[in-house]
Amino acid sequence: MNYLVTLFLCASLMAQAPAPRPSAQIPAAPLYDLQDALLEWPLAPENRAYAAIDGKRLHEYVSELAAISRRYRNQGHPQFWGRIIGTSADSETAQWVLDHFNKLGLSDVHLQPFDLPPQWMPQSWEITATGGGKTLPLNSAQPAYQTKATSGPGIDLEAVYAGTGSEADFAGRDVRGKAVFIFSMPLPGSWRHTATAEDALRRAETKGAAAIFAIIALPGNIRTQLYPTRTNVPTFSLGMDDGYAVRDLIGKMPAGQAPHVKVRLDVNMEPGLKTATVWGTLPGTTNETIYVIAHRDGWFESGTDNASGVATMIGLAEYFSKIPREKRRRTIVFAGTSGHHNGGNFSGTWLLDHRDELFSKTALMINCEHTATIQTYLLGEDIRMANMHTGMLWYAGGPQRPKLQAIAVKAFHDAGVVTYAAPERAAPGGEMSRLWPYVPGVQASDYNVFFHSDHESPATVPWTGLQATARAYAMIIDGVNTLDLKDLQRPPETPPGRAPR
C-alpha cells in the first residue's frame, strides 16, 4: 500500500475509534497496519481472469466518495452531513459516477433527473444537561430523520431515565412533559436497536414525553443517524458516553430534584431540490439484460453504506468494459440510484413503476449495497477490529431459481465472500427490497456496528472484502450468461410473511 495512504488510514482509524471505557480490556499497541494485514482469499487457477478486479483500486474509490462527504461537511454543514439526497454532495457524487461511466466508454451515459418535494434539512442543534452544579454538552446527540423541530430558543425540560423503555420501566414513573432517556442495545448497530424493536420510543411519547433520547450502547461517543422513529416530539440518538453521563447525573441528584435538559433543533424544509439516477450501458450481443445497481447516498462518510457498493459497481463496469462486445452475451445496464436515506427512493420507485418494460428480458439484477466491512467484535466495553471482512446477509433468487443459487454459492466460495450459512428469504434490504419479487436478484450485504454512524469511514471498509464481493459478482454474471431466460425468470413472488393476493 502507498505509504501516504497507509498513514492516512491509520490516522483516520485512530482518530475515529472510540476510547475504551475504564472497564474495557485494553489491547496492546498494534503491531501492524490493519489494511496491510487483511487476509486475502487466493483465486484458483481457473479463475485467474478475475484477478483483474483489484480491491485496493476499489478502496481508492471509497476514499474519493468519502472525501465528497467531508467537503460537504466543511462547506458549512458540520452536524448533518454526508452524500445527502438533493444536496451539492449528491450532485457531486452523481457527476463522479457519470465521469467514471464516460471514462470506461459506456454507452447511453446520462442523468435521469427527479424533482424532490421539500426535504427535511436540520440546520443546527444544541443539547445540554444541567444539574448538581454541572453542565454537560451532549455533542453526540443526532436528530432522528424527520423528527420534529423546536421553536424559538428551544425547550427546557426535566430529565428522567427510563431504562430500556419497557412498560416495567415506566411503571410508577411520571414522564409527562419531560426529556426521557432510554438505553438501547444495537442489533448490531443503530439501524436496528432495542428501542425501536420494542417500540420504546413511541411508548415514551404515549406516556407524555416532550423529548426522547435513545442512548445507543456502542462503546465511546459515536454519533448515529436514525431512520424516522414515527414520534411527534423531538427525538435523538445519543452516544453511550453522553448517555451514561446524563444517567449518572440523574442518579446523583438529591431526592425530589432532577437535572434539566435544554433542547434546540432548527430544521428547514428545503424546496426546489433535485436528484438523479446515473445510467450507463455496456451493449452485448442480445437484447437480454443484466442490471447492476448501487445507491449513491449516505450519511456521514458512509464508507460501507454505500461507498463500498458504488465502488463495487464501478469495479464491475471496469472489468466487463475490457471484454469485447462479441463475448458479452447480454447487455449490462449500470445505474447509480439516488438512494433511500431521505425516505423518497425516487430511483427505486421509478424502477418499480417501470418494471414490466425494464425487466421483461432481464436475466439478473445485482444490487451492490454494503459490500464490505471490517470484522468487529464487542469485547467488554470496547469495539475490536479483526484483519478480515465480515460475513454477509445474502440472497440469490430464492428457491424458485436453484440454478442461480448454485452459481452464487460457488462464486461466493471461489471468490472468498464470507456468508451466513443460510440465505435470506428475500433481498436483504435497500434498493432491491421492492424489486426482488419481479427480477432474478443477487445481493450480499453487511449491517455492522458502525452502520449509519460517523465512524463508518474508509478505514472500516476492507479492500479484501471489496475485492471478494466484486469478483464474486463478476463470476455470477458469467455464470448466468450460460443460462437461458427460462432458467431464471419466474412469475412475481409473494414477499415472506404476506398472504397471496
Average pLDDT over residues 427-444: 94
499 pLDDT higher than 50: no
Burial of 74 (0-12, 13-18, 19+ CB in 10 A): exposed
Once rounded to an integer, what is the mean pLDDT over residues 147-155?
96
pLDDT at 344 exceeding the cut of 80: no
The mean pLDDT of 119-147, rounded to a whole number, is 97
Of 5-14, 33-42, 244-253, the poorest mean pLDDT is in 5-14
Express the helix, strand and coil content of the chain in percent, nearest 5 each: 35, 25, 40
C-alpha–C-alpha distance, residues 437 and 395, integer Å: 12
- Whether pLDDT at 133 is above 80: yes
Residue 189 pLDDT class (50, 70, 90 cuts): confident
Rounded average pLDDT over 94-102 = 98
Checking if the pLDDT of 8 tops 70, the result is no
pLDDT of residue 78: 97
- Report pLDDT for 379: 84
**Closest Cα partner for 418 from 397, 399, 446?**
446
- Regarding predicted confidence, which is higher, 434 or 7? 434
Q: Classify residue 308 as exposed, middle or buried by CB count within 10 Å of its CB (0-12, 13-18, 19+).
A: buried
Contact between residue 201 and residue 195 where contact means Cβ atoms under 8 Å apart: yes
Segment 295-305 mean pLDDT: 97
Is residue 195 over pLDDT 60? yes
Residue 26 is predicted with a pLDDT of 78
Cα 44 vs. chain centroid, distance in angstroms? 32
CATH code: domain 119-269 is 3.50.30.30
Confirm if 181 and 238 have CB atoms less than 8 A apart.
yes
The pLDDT-based confidence of 494 (bands split at 50, 70, 90) is confident
| Bigger pLDDT: 107 vs 188 | 107
Task: Give the pLDDT mean for 361-382.
Answer: 94
Confidence band, pLDDT 50/70/90 cuts, at residue 342: confident
Mean pLDDT of 361-378: 96
Q: For residues 448 and 192, give the distance between their C-alpha atoms in angstroms, rounded to a whole number.
A: 10
Write down the domain spans for the chain. Answer: 3-117+272-487, 119-269
233-288 pLDDT, tens digit each? 999 999 999 999 999 999 999 988 999 999 999 999 999 999 999 999 999 999 99
pLDDT at 221 over 50: yes
- Rounded to whole angstroms, how far apart are CA atoms 128 and 262? 5
383 pLDDT more than 70: yes
- The pLDDT of residue 7: 36
d(CA 264, CA 266): 7
Grid coordinates standing for 124? Answer: 443546527
Each residue of 52-86: pLDDT tens digit? 999 999 999 999 999 999 999 999 999 999 999 99
What mean pLDDT do residues 336-351 have? 90
Per the model's pLDDT, the better-predicted residue between 498 and 387 turns out to be 387
pLDDT at 11: 42
How crowded is the C-beta side of 76, counted as CA atoms within 13 Å?
3
pLDDT, residue 61, reads 98
Give the C-alpha separation, 183 to 247, whole Å: 9
Give the other-Cβ count within 10 Å of 71's Cβ: 14
Contacts of 345 (CB under 8 A, 6+ apart): 338, 339, 431
Asked if the domains 3-117+272-487 and 119-269 are classified in one and the same CATH topology, the answer is no
Please give the share of the chain, as a percent, with pLDDT higher than 90: 87
pLDDT over 70 for what percent of the chain?
Answer: 94
The 10s digit of each residue's pLDDT in 274-297 is: 999 999 999 999 999 999 999 999
Residue 1 pLDDT exceeds 90: no
pLDDT digits (tens, 9 = 90+) for 204-213: 999 999 999 9
Residue entry with cell 446477509? 393
Instruction: Return the CATH number of the domain spanning residue range 3-117+272-487.
Output: 3.40.630.10
Mean confidence (pLDDT) of the chain: 93
| Residue 105 pLDDT | 98
Q: How far apart are CA 416 and CA 318, in angstroms?
A: 20
| More confidently predicted of 5 and 127 | 127
Q: State the DSSP H helix or E strand holding residue 336, giving kind and residue range, or none if neither.
A: strand 331-337
* Structure confidence at residue 368 as a pLDDT band (50, 70, 90): very high
- Which residues have C-beta within 8 Å of that of residue 191, sequence separation ≥ 6? 227, 447, 451, 452
Q: Look at residue 114 and tell me whether its pLDDT is greater than 80.
A: yes
